[in-house]
Amino acid sequence: MIPPQEASARRREIEDKLKQEEETLSFIRDSLEKSDQLTKNMVSILSSFESRLMKLENSIIPVHKQTENLQRLQENVEKTLSCLDHVISYYHVASDTEKIIREGPTGRLEEYLGSMAKIQKAVEYFQDNSPDSPELNKVKLLFERGKEALESEFRSLMTRHSKVVSPVLILDLISGDDDLDAQEDVTLEHLPESVLQDVIRISRWLVEYGRNQDFMNVYYQIRSSQLDRSIKGLKEHFHKSSSSSGVPYSPAIPNKRKDTPTKKPVKRPGTIRKAQNLLKQYSQHGLDGKKGGSNLIPLEGHEHDFRVKHLSEALNDKHGPLAGRDDMLDVETDAYIHCVSAFVKLAQSEYQLLADIIPEHHQKKTFDSLIQDALDGLMLEGENIVSAARKAIVRHDFSTVLTVFPILRHLKQTKPEFDQVLQGTAASTKNKLPGLITSMETIGAKALEDFADNIKNDPDKEYNMPKDGTVHELTSNAILFLQQLLDFQETAGAMLASQETSSSATSYSSEFSKRLLSTYICKVLGNLQLNLLSKSKVYEDPALSAIFLHNNYNYILKSLEKSELIQLVAVTQKTAERSYREHIEQQIQTYQRSWLKVTDYIAEKNLPVFQPGVKLRDKERQIIKERFKGFNDGLEELCKIQKAWAIPDTEQRDRIRQAQKTIVKETYGAFLQKFGSVPFTKNPEKYIKYGVEQVGDMIDRLFDTSA
């Protein structure tokens, strides 16, 4: 049970809380009443405002709608007026632009193209909106006239400003890569810059708006003509210049000879021209056997020695008397080589120009058409060279055939540039140069084979033999021909390899072609040796036959050693040099046997035996007389005959003289010592005509017509 004091306290606490709650409740009631009053007032205000807004809306909305309609009507009127102005302008295009179109684009291309743009838009408008309108026909006709004028202007600009490239500039262009100390690059300006820009603008307009490709035909026809004429002009320049200077000069770069038209210089060795002239004589006098005797026949002794010496020197003399003997073959060859290089350079330049003017997807086809005339001209000329070589082979004129070698070498050196220039052209265009190269390789191989056969089959005509036993024309010309192959080893090797049917030949290496060339040279030398042996039998005197073979073998050996031919021969025949030396020694021994009929008279084995101090019998005296007379007569006869023979090689001549002099002097000296003081005759001066030294002097005058 709760104590009374705690209960009283508890009650007072509860009563206090109750009183506080009642006061709070009273406050809330007052607040609610005030809020209700305020709400009623706000609702009354809003109701009044809504009423007023509705009245305002009912008054403004009709006005707004009316204003909006008026604005729309105004905009429609303005658009209509603008469209009318635009449409009306199309009807005035013909009259506004007719004068400009009639006068043409010359001198005012920008304005003209602007007028054409207006006409183009008018055409499009009438086609879309009034296809039956007479105005459409007017602007169409005006557009066609304008397009024709632009085409005409394109043709006119290309015709008036496309100039033939001068030969001097072409020579500078094709030799610019080789002149390492040239101070400036040679460039071609086919069209002035302002003209080029006009041509480009017309070209683009015709493609985009004119829907016309005829101008591309006009372009390639004009540029094709200029390219062809430029190359022909270079060829004519060679013909005109060759008569005075041999090789054209170019003054554009001072003191520069224009001998080298490609990156790999085409060197026309001096021996080519000399060999052509000599081989021409050879073809007339030697191989075919149809014309007169050798021009060696009248030359004897020192005179012939002089000829052979200088003929040999001419092999390496680029400024000698033979070097100035220009030939049309040389001019044609040099001109053709330069024209080939000129075509490559000019075609490259033409493509650069074409790339700016012709649309990309038409460039290859247009370029293909552009270069055809010039390319066909080069190929036709090349085939003519092949045809001329073929005819020359038939008549054994190997001077003409020699022109194929430098041309073929140059074509093969230039082929990579050719292939690059002709990228994208038709297959028939790309195959023209390879076809010409194949033709030249074939005819070159044919020439080589025929030359070897003709060396073997050169007729053994007595009138064609040198009377002095010197080097035969066949030998000197064969060596000259082979020496030309040194300057064209790869070319000649490729010619021979091209005729091989083995699979290895299809992708032949330089070593393979070198072996083929070595084999060929050995074949020619072998044929020459067989022919010389046959020719030597024409001589009735075996000693002269031996001198003839000695001279020819020695000439061959010295020529091989003097040039690189010996190294080339050694590729397949290691012992060739030793073999020739053995042949030379054999002929010297054969020649020396001719003196046996002289020395046999005084040889110890054929002399009578007698006792010193014992009077000679008549028979013994007669034998000694016969020995002296036989020796004297034989010596005089041989010296007279052999003095007219020739040994051009000074070293060999002295060697043979010395060897023979030693043998004869020793034999005669011994004979003279034994019988010179023997009383075998009352007139010793009749039989003892020569002293030992006199005999030596007589032998020293052998092979010397001036003695």
For residue 629, the number of C-alpha atoms closer than 13 Å in the C-beta half-sphere is: 10
Res 229: pLDDT: 94
Q: Supply the pLDDT for residue 137.
A: 85
Long-range contacts of 417-425 (CB under 8 A, 24+ apart): 417/263, 417/344, 418/344, 421/344, 421/347, 421/348, 421/351, 422/371, 424/363, 424/364, 424/367, 424/368, 425/364, 425/367, 425/368, 425/371
The beta strand positions in 391-497, using DSSP E, are none
pLDDT at site 216: 92
Is the predicted pLDDT of residue 120 greater than 50, yes or no?
yes
The conformation of residue 608, written as its DSSP 8-state character, comes to P
Q: How confident is the model at residue 325 (pLDDT cuts 50, 70, 90)?
A: very low
pLDDT digits (tens, 9 = 90+) for 452-465: 999 988 876 666 78
Match 């008397």 to its residue by tokens. Answer: 321
The token pair that represents 561 in the structure block: 């050693």
Any residues with CB less than 8 A from the CB of 643 and at least 6 apart, and which?
A: 301, 701, 702, 703, 704, 705, 707
Q: Which two tokens stand for residue 149?
A: 């004028």
Residue 560 near residue 573, CB atoms below 8 Å: no
**Counting beta carbons within 10 angstroms of the beta carbon of residue 366, is it exposed (0 to 12), middle (13 to 18) or buried (19 or more)?**
buried
Helix and strand totals (H; E) in the chain: 25, 0
Which tokens sit at 119? 């006409």
| Percent of the chain whose predicted confidence (pLDDT) is above 70 | 81
Of 242-251, 525-534, 697-706, which has the strongest mean pLDDT? Answer: 525-534
Angstrom distance (rounded) from CA 41 to CA 296: 152
* Candidate from 341-345, 399-403, 642-646, 658-662 with smallest mean pLDDT: 399-403
| pLDDT of residue 259 exceeding 50 | no
pLDDT tens for each residue of 50-103: 888 888 878 788 887 788 887 887 778 767 656 655 566 677 777 778 888 888
CA 388 to chain CA centroid, Å, is 20
How large is the C-alpha radius of gyration of the chain? Answer: 55
Chain Cα centroid distance, residue 482: 23
pLDDT at site 211: 74
Cα 593 from Cα 380, distance rounded (Å): 61
Residue 263 confidence (pLDDT): 36
Angle at alpha carbon of residue 644, lines to 639 and 645, rounded to 5°: 95
Q: Is the pLDDT of residue 251 over 70?
A: no
In this structure, what is the dihedral angle of CA atoms 415, 421, 424, 429, given to the nearest 10 degrees?
A: -60
The sign of the torsion formed by the CA atoms of 370, 371, 373, 374 equals positive
How many other C-beta atoms are found inside a 10 Å radius of the C-beta of residue 682? 6
Encoded amino acid at 216, one letter: M
Within its chain, how far is the Cα of 82 from the centroid? 69
pLDDT at 134: 81
Q: CA-to-CA distance for 246 and 317, rounded, in angstroms?
A: 16
pLDDT of residue 274: 42
Name the pTM for this structure: 0.72
The whole-chain average pLDDT of the chain stands at 81
**pLDDT given at position 78:** 63
pLDDT tens column, 568-607: 999 999 999 999 999 999 999 999 999 998 998 888 776 7
pLDDT tens digits for range 160-202: 999 899 999 999 988 865 554 444 566 788 889 999 999 999 9
pLDDT score of 183: 42
Q: Which amino acid is at 260?
A: T
**H/E element holding 138?**
helix 134-161
Q: How far apart are CA 361 and CA 350, in angstroms?
A: 17
- Distance between CA 261 and CA 344 in Å, rounded? 11
